[in-house]
Chain A
Amino acid sequence: MPESATLQREKGTDIYYSLGEHLKEKSRELCGVLFLHCGDCGSPSQLKDRIRDFLQHEPGLKPEVQQDSSTQAIAVLLPGLTLDATHYQALLLKQHLQDTMENVEPRITLTVFPGQVEPTPGVLRQMAESTRLDISSDIHIFTRGESIQTPGRILIVDHDDTVREFLNIRLQMQGFETLEAMDGTSALELIEKWEPDLVLTELNLYGIDGLPFIHQIRQLPIESTPKIVVLTERRVEKTISQCFQYGVDDYVTKPFSPVELDARIHRCFH
């Protein structure tokens, strides 16, 4: 089970990573990017071919069509197009799909690089996700505002149910995506699969002790190591200095001030 999950993850990240790299290379040239997702309209690869056929027949386009197997979204790069040109193509594409297929509701998110947002893998993934979760059939233009609206993913690791619940609610209200883990070993699995931007962890954990846990997070085969904020009962100075040596970003002791914790987490994101 874990193996298949990692495989999926590799494929999933590859596309955003390679797209990101691709876009960075031609950072000077304009490039429209749109993500398309439609609920259940036959096999995605068929859809992909259909889109490619359609776009290739449009004059003056050199489209690149790729597909992300994990979100089922289809990514289309339209080099040289401005934002309104991309939007126009998206409208045409949507019209075409609705004419040729039955019961399709294509949902499209688009933007243009270089533009308001940087083409990082995270932003691209976020675009794909928002396409998938979109409920309106209007074409959606992805702006800077949105990329700040969902600031990141936080994994909360603590054995205490009450603490986890409190942090979970508080952080979600601030717009963070959160997941919880009870103990060190399941947290490690989650980090690998879900790739959070920040891990908020206690040091007293089951399965694996806090320090080796932090050490292992940093050795996981993932692209960008998450930031680590320790929130713990332990206040022995030696432990604190060891944690910083192991590369944690911040250390907060319990009982903690929620406002202070917010501030420290926000600082990690900026």
Chain B
Amino acid sequence: MVAIYYVMIVNVLYFTIMGLSYRSISTIARRTKYSSYNTLSGSELVPPVSLLVPAYNEELTIIENVYCLMTLNYPTYEVIVINDGSSDQTLSVLISEFKLEKMANPDIRGTIETQNVRGIYHNSDYPHLFIIDKENGGKADSLNAGINLSHYPLISSIDADSLLEKDALIRMARMYMENPEETVAIGGDVRIANGCLIENGAVQKVSLPRKIWPMFQSIEYLKAFLGGRIGWSRMNGLIIVSGAFGLFRKDYVIAVGGYRGGYPGEDMNIIIKLHRYMLSHKLPYKVAFCPEAVCWTQAPDSYKIISNQRKRWGRGNLKNMIENRGMLFNPKYKVMGMITMPYNVLFETLNPYFRITGLLALIGYTLLDMTHWRILLTFFLLNFLSGYLLSVGAIVLEEIAFRRYKKLSDLWKMLLFSALKFVGYHQLGVLWRVQGHIQYLRKNNSWGTMTRQSWKEESKAA
């Protein structure tokens, strides 16, 4: 019976969040269409931003990405690439492409402890590009080093395997400028670039991935970002801003001590810390989500890599929950403490165990002949239908507001794969999460390999 209640609560919550997303979507759609981003992108009044790009073994994609980042429609910004002690040619390809020279007297003003910085490279022909070369210390450590060098009051973390749309940053800045006092962080919409045609460091033609793993992830991301995060941000209970693309106020990031090193899940960690800091200092604040600011990322396309990634996420999530267990059901932390954190613990972190016990119970009941097969079937069907409805809901949101996927065949394909997701992919997700938790208990703390493909091969294949 517990399992049934669990499923019911989970679905009620999911649908509430989705409902909130729907309430916001018309505003978002109008904002996307009618805001004059072009004029803004040249305005003196837009706050300058430092883009931080941690790079570890990214020699294949880094040049393309830096070019992409240097041609954003944004008045004043700088790009800081942090080479995290890569073992490949990341640093030297950057130096030779941009003819960089080591700065004699770099001006590092920051206060956060990081690994030893070996040097800072710069070329006056590209005045807004800086490369930090440092000893390996992980992604969080790289971001901290970037914060130390950054010259501007806003920072934005961007993965080196992601491409920003030209307007992405200005769209985020617009949202920030609506409420610059209270907005401490803004997340962007992350989409899967596999299958899209990429030229000149920009996504030229949007279409769905051809391979099966990225395809599932496309729908998963769509569901998480459009169906989930829009709703969560509406009640200011957003627990994560994707590490692939987010904008932060530097003063508050420094106030909470920067990114936490030594463990994956630093993107969720920084947001929890910001919530915690703002709430315990009784400051009004907002963690916003900006679905029209789009960042295209490369999804892992083989079982091994995706399972590694998911195990890492499971591990990071568990670690963050344990570290911040004090916030759980603590009225001081408002929405965060009463809804988001419990939701996360019960339905994200512990989700696999409920599912497994539920399944075991069902099997047990059936073996003991306590349930009729009809009831069992309706149970499965209901479960499937509610899940499918959520996916379809996200696709409808996409169609209302953004319509990135222009082809009708892509739409059918998305609907089909939303259904196929329940056969196998979901179960694997549960498995990976459990494996992640096991890794955590064994204190296995590696990042795991993420192999990259050159964007060029990607667009050729498409």
Contacts and interface: CB of A to CB of B under 8 A. Distances in A.
A185 B43 CA distance: 26
A186 to B, nearest CB: 9
Nearest to A204: B73
Contacts of B134: none
A233 B73 contact: yes
Describe A's contact surface by its main secondary structure.
loop
B201 A204 contact: no
B42 interface: yes
A212 interface: yes
A217 to B, nearest CB: 14
B200 interface: yes
B44 A207 contact: no
Interface in A227-270: 232-239, 253-255
A238 B76 CA distance: 9
A215 B125 contact: yes
Given A208-B71, A209-B71, A212-B125, A236 B200 contact: no
A249 B241 CA distance: 44
A209 B98 CA distance: 13
Interface residues of A, number: 22
Given A204-B166, A206-B201, A234 B71 contact: no
A93 interface: no
Given A233-B73, A234-B75, A204 B44 contact: no
- Of the listed residues B39, B43, B125, B200, the one surrounded by the most CB atoms of chain A closer than 10 A to its CB is B200
Q: Is the interface of B mostly helix, strand, loop or mixed?
A: loop
A134 B363 CA distance: 89
B75 A208 contact: no
Given A204-B71, A206-B166, A233 B200 contact: no
Contacts of A185: 200
A212 B126 contact: yes
Contacts, number: 50
Given A205-B71, A207-B67, A212-B126, A235 B43 contact: yes
A205 B201 CA distance: 11
B44 A235 contact: yes
Contacts of A254: 38-39, 42
Contacts of B202: 206
Interface size class of chain B, counting residues whose CB lies under 8 Å from the partner chain: 10 to 19
A20 to B, nearest CB: 34
Contacts of A235: 42-44, 75
A197 interface: no
Contacts of A208: 67, 71
A205 B166 CA distance: 9
A232 B73 CA distance: 11
Contacts of A205: 71
Contacts of B67: 207-208
A206 B42 contact: no
B298 interface: no
B362 interface: no
A180 interface: no
Given A208-B67, A215-B125, A237 B44 contact: yes
Contacts of A236: 42-44, 75-76
Interface string B56-93: 00000000000100110101100000000000000000
B41 interface: yes
Contact of A207 (B38, B39, B42, B200): B200
Contacts of A184: 71
Nearest to A160: B38
Interface string A180-212: 000111000000000000000000111111001
Contacts of A234: 41-42, 75
A184 B43 CA distance: 22
Given A233-B39, A234-B41, A253-B42, 4 more contacts: A205-B71, A207-B200, A235-B44, A236-B76
21 contacts: A183-B200, A204-B71, A204-B73, A205-B71, A207-B67, A207-B201, A208-B67, A209-B70, A212-B126, A232-B42, A233-B41, A233-B42, A235-B42, A235-B75, A236-B42, A236-B44, A236-B75, A237-B44, A239-B75, A254-B38, A254-B39
Interface of B: 38-39, 41-44, 67, 70-71, 73, 75-76, 125-126, 166, 200-202
Interface of A: 183-185, 204-209, 212, 215, 232-239, 253-255
